[in-house]
Chain A
């Protein structure tokens, strides 16, 4: 008896039992067989893989005890009842306020606030903006080619498999060759109750297409959530893709987010991830530079406070000559918070003239906070320029005094200086309203 209890508590599946998975599959009855098979295979992988262990280098510094999979539900019906009319209104308003003419919102995995609408003019040019559940039916080939198609190399094979197994819905965006979408597309994901959420966003920008996608993740109330999301970004030759995400889950959330970015010849992808919420948040980001002239700009900002832990793992893989990647991750740490940055630049043997940059900068606003940096290089070509570095610094006391001498109280001075520290990243966004929206969100973390 006691032995079986022990096995149960050590179970690597937690709430995501085979029964829960069977119920989830039943809710996906409209999906094609290949999709369900894929989910079954993913569930097998998830259930068979162990939880990360201390000896696993890709989980170095992570608080493994925080990776609890218990206490969540995947029962979509359970949650449907909880979505109140007032929440629905809020979400519709937010979408408008954010200025998106195209947008989507999800409450606990469920598309919400009406069907996803593609404006006629864009639809007539071949733009597809729809739910993942519809895309698996209508766009099998594109899904097969792009959905979770890149290898999970950053340590979360188990959780990425969990995502595929339980992903309920998401956004599918296809921008055909040469089409430019001027306004940002806004996607909101909201978690509620103890529902486990699996947000997914798949963006395919074909040759010379241009699009900006903004995602926001948050929670109603302060319930403990489990989030396991992914986004797959594909930029075809010459495409320009901007991806901005703001993670603001409740403070009791365990969050995983997996990004893969494929950049083809002369394409340019700029991604900016803002990390504010969750109790423990793991973010894995992979950029694959696959064609000459490809450029991936990987940006992130984190405000860590209380006992929050932000765990960021990145991989820049240069697979073709004359490719460029530029990573800048900035963390501001307060209280007893903790951040981990582990980044690797890989340059394949024939990726000559690679220009790769990787930088992690930490602003320590407290003596009790802990910032860990593990920058790395793996270079197999001989004619490359690769720079990497990590720094941790405190507020400059002379700058602080200067602000205080103008009447600005110390906490406000530190907030201003934190914004100053972040500006190098924020200023890379050329979209002013977006820039302001992110500043506003960051500001909420400094409200007293």
Chain B
């Protein structure tokens, strides 16, 4: 059982304060959905936790199993078990999916340990089949010229290969068609039911994803912090009423 604790986190980009006192604890196997209007700092939160160098953590802490990870670079955090599925994944021309994932898997091996290439490809192909990604994609450049949905599926493929302890999934549902959404959700649910189920932070705008990946908790983020938390019914309420009532309720408090 692992635990990711985000404690009163404040994040600034340059001198602009974006995340303003965000606190949340996620345990293995839990799914926390975060919803909130555009520009409230959801992606900033996710990238800051993942270790983006441009995002300054002005106060607060992020603890993985009780130990702060803030001094670690992004790659160390990833190797400690953190995974960020990007809202806008980078395109990397000239670097094939196969070589990229191989480097990521290799990075997790002990010093001097050699990657078993046959086993690696076997595992990669199995995951690709599961996510219904054409095997031809292995030789394509990472996200280069991918459709929006292909990029998101590729993010899930990486997550499936790297088996993180905690996944921050930033609008993985946007750009997915109905079938792809189901495939992705099945992929996530498979991990969820597995022996080493990750803790998941699911950033989304839409209830339809939450129909497939049913969250344990739903949080509303507004102006850089959580202003309301509830169970899955909160998402339905938001879908019906929009964010205005949350804002009013929050402003009144």
Contacts and interface: CB of A to CB of B under 8 A. Distances in A.
Interface stretch (A5-13, A128-136, A394-402): A394-402
A403 B94 CA distance: 14
Contacts of A408: 75, 78, 103-104, 107
Contacts of B86: 402, 405
Contact of B104 (A398, A401, A407, A424): A407
Given A404-B73, A404-B74, A405-B74, 6 more contacts: A399-B90, A402-B92, A405-B50, A408-B75, A410-B73, A423-B95
Contacts of A423: 93-95, 141
Interface string A406-427: 1111101100110111111000
A406 B158 contact: yes
A231 to B, nearest CB: 28
A401 B53 contact: yes
A413 B99 contact: no
Contacts of A401: 52-53, 74, 90
Nearest to A411: B75
A397 B95 contact: no
Nearest to A402: B90
B93 A407 contact: no
16 contacts: A397-B54, A401-B53, A403-B92, A403-B103, A404-B73, A405-B77, A407-B79, A408-B104, A409-B107, A410-B75, A416-B92, A417-B95, A419-B99, A420-B94, A421-B94, A423-B141
A407 B107 contact: yes
User: Which 7 A-B pairs give the minimum distances between C-beta atoms?
Assistant: A420-B94, A423-B94, A407-B78, A402-B90, A404-B74, A420-B95, A406-B104
A417 B92 contact: yes
Contact of B84 (A399, A403, A405): A405
Contacts of A424: 93-94
B interface majority secondary structure: mixed
Given A402-B89, A406-B158, A412 B103 contact: yes
A404 B78 contact: yes
Nearest to B159: A406
Contact of A413 (B52, B75, B93): B75
Interface residues of A, number: 24
B100 interface: yes
A419 B104 contact: no
A67 to B, nearest CB: 35
B86 to A, nearest CB: 7
Contacts of A399: 90, 92
Interface in B58-113: 73-75, 77-79, 83-84, 86, 89-90, 92-95, 99-101, 103-104, 107-108
B145 to A, nearest CB: 14
A403 B54 contact: no
B13 interface: no
B51 interface: yes
Contacts of A412: 103, 107
B162 interface: yes
Nearest to A427: B94
A345 B73 CA distance: 46
Contact of A407 (B53, B75, B90): B75
Contact of B90 (A398, A409, A419, A422): A398
Contact of B100 (A397, A410, A416, A422): A416
Interface string B100-141: 110110011000000000000000000000000000000001
Contacts of A396: 90
Contacts of B83: 405
B113 to A, nearest CB: 14
A409 B75 contact: yes
A420 B141 contact: yes
Q: With a 10 A CB-CB cut-off, give which of A410, A416, A422, A423 has the most chain B CB atoms.
A: A416
A422 B83 CA distance: 28
Contacts of A410: 73, 75
A384 B136 CA distance: 40
Q: With a 10 A CB-CB cut-off, give which of B94, B99, B100 has the most chain A CB atoms.
A: B94
Contacts of B77: 405
A128 to B, nearest CB: 40
Contacts of A420: 92-95, 141
Contacts of B73: 404, 409-410
Contacts of B78: 404-408
A404 B51 contact: yes
Nearest to A421: B94
Contact of A419 (B84, B89, B94, B162): B94
Given A399-B92, A407-B79, A416 B99 contact: yes
B168 to A, nearest CB: 10
Q: With a 10 A CB-CB cut-off, give which of B54, B74, B100, B107 has the most chain A CB atoms.
A: B74
A402 B54 CA distance: 13
A185 to B, nearest CB: 29
Contact of B108 (A407, A417, A419): A407
B163 to A, nearest CB: 11
A376 B92 CA distance: 31
B51 to A, nearest CB: 7
